[in-house]
Structures are given as C-alpha cells and as structure tokens.
Chains A and B, each alone.
Chain A
Amino acid sequence: MPAAAPGGRTDAAMEQIIDIVLLAFMVVVAIAMIRLRNLYAVVMLSGIYSLLSASMFVVLDAVDVAFTEAAVGAGIATVLMLGTLALTFREERPPKRRTPLLPLAVVVVTGAALVYGTLDMPHYGDPEAPIHQHVAPRYIADSPLEVGPPNMVTSVLASYRGYDTLGETTVIFTAGIAVLVLLSGVTRRRQRRRPARGDESREARR
C-alpha cells in the first residue's frame, strides 16, 4: 500500500478505536440482553453478540476461532434458540423481588480473582511467553515435512492432536443429535401464549 508510510500511525490508532468500540458494543449488547424481557429480541441480540465476538477474534488474529464463532454462534445457535422459543413463552417473567447481594458478591469476587490471575500472564504477543516456547517451534520447523499442509493449525488439529479432535467431534456430534431430538420431537405441540398483559405481548406477536 503506497500511502502506508504517512497513514501508518492513523491506521494503528484506528485499529485501537475499532477494538474499543467493538468491546463497548459487546458490553452494551450484554446489558441489553439482561434487561430485555422479550426473548425474541434477546435471541436477535445474541446473534449480534456472537458476530461482535467473531470480529474480536479476527482482530486478535484467531481466524479459525472466528470462523467457528460465526458459524456456530451467529448461525446455528440463533436457529436453535428460535426452535426453542417455539416451545416456550416469548416473554421472560419478571424476577421476584430479592436483593441480589450474594450473587453480586460471588460475581465480583470471582471476577477480581480472574483479573488477579491475568496479572501473571505474559503480555499479548510476547514471543517469550511459555506457549511459544514449548512445542510451537517444533510444529513450525517440522510440520511441513511431517504432515504437509501449509496451514500449521490444520496440521496440529488434524494430525498432532488427531485423537483430541476426534473426541471433540464425537462430543459435538452427540450434542447435535440430542438437540435435534429435543427440538424436533416436541415441536409439533402448539405454541403456548400467556394472556396479553399490556403492550409487550402484542408487540411480540406482531
């Protein structure tokens, strides 16, 4: 790109802005998903959320994870959620009045412990990190000769960790069959609707 020399700094700044805005979007969507009572809207928002996280994975260079997230999170999960919606109500019941102090405390303590745990971790992209020192150099050096494909992630997943991948595939296959059985066997039941309670349910049916 010829204009890269003067524009390099603004490009880097723009990347940072995109990161921050994407993360802010994720926070907004998560809060909206918690607050909304219309489950259809929540399903739609969860599709948006997984699109956002897939973009974050691309920004972090985890392209294969982004593929999976886009296919599973935005594609299949949305459809399965909609199939589930046919079996339940479209509105979430408002929670009983209770002070959520204990759950809040648990969440805050867990979050603080996790943040404390990240303090020890190597910086993002640090070449000295243990994960880049253990088996990665051998994969980089030998996998083109031992396995063949130019994409080393493929070599690792399909050859070096072949049994691992086989187990994962079995688990996902089983889970997929179970979900299909659950959704297809019972879908014939008519969709129940709660008595209209103001605008919300009429809005949901429209």
Chain B
Amino acid sequence: MFTVASLFVLATMVLALLRAVRGPTVYDRIVAVNVFGTMTVLLLVLIGFLTDRPEFEDIALLYVLINFVAIIAVLKFELYSSLAGPRAASAEGATEKARDEAADGAGVDGR
C-alpha cells in the first residue's frame, strides 16, 4: 500500500517539477513549488512507514511549516517587490504592482 502511494506521490512530483521548469508565469512556478513541498512532506511520511520508522513525521511537520512561511514570503515579495510589506512599498512611492492592486480595489491592508 505504501509502495503504491509512493509511486503516485513520485508521479505527482514529476508533474509539479515539469510545471516549475516550464512556467510560464510566476504564479505557475509558485504553485508548483508549493505542491512540490507538499509532496516532499508526503514522501517523507511514506519513507518513514516504508522503513518502519514513523518518528520521521516530526520532520515532515516542520517541512509543512517552512513551506507555508516560504510561500507567504514569496507571494508578499511578488506583490510588494519588498519583504518589508505594504508600508515600505508605499514609502518608496509604491511599486507598480502594489499600485495596480490598489487601483483594482484589491489592495490588502495598511494602505
């Protein structure tokens, strides 16, 4: 059962990798990295059960957290072109992207 599950996870990893390499947009790549991270977590858990050492799930949990925070950081950077957030972006005269978002009425907060 774990064998079949691992095979499917590996197949999904191939697809995510393909999307990360091919692109074409930034968001394709971000989602691909996110999916790849999730699949890594699943694979770690499966490896733990394949080798009869399910303690490795702790590491998998850590990976989930890191993956989440990293994707948030990437998206924030993509939106504001700065990791400091909306305030710093507006202080420098608002980057083009943040302005576009604000014009659409979709600006997030702190503006």
Contacts and interface: CB of A to CB of B under 8 A. Distances in A.
A171 B26 CA distance: 34
Interface stretch (A66-74, A106-114, A130-138, A162-170): A66-74
A40 B24 CA distance: 11
Given A14-B3, A48-B17, A86 B82 contact: yes
Contacts of A32: 21
B29 A44 contact: yes
Interface of A: 1, 3-4, 7, 10-11, 14-15, 17-18, 21, 25, 28-29, 32, 36, 38, 40-41, 44-45, 47-48, 51-52, 54-55, 58-59, 63, 66-67, 70-71, 74-75, 78-79, 82-83, 85-86, 184, 187-188, 190-191, 203-204, 206
Closest 7 CB pairs of A and B: A14-B3, A44-B29, A75-B66, A82-B77, A32-B21, A79-B73, A51-B40
B26 to A, nearest CB: 6
B66 A70 contact: yes
Interface of B is mostly: helix
Contacts, number: 131
B52 A1 contact: yes
B102 interface: no
B74 A15 contact: no
B95 A83 contact: no
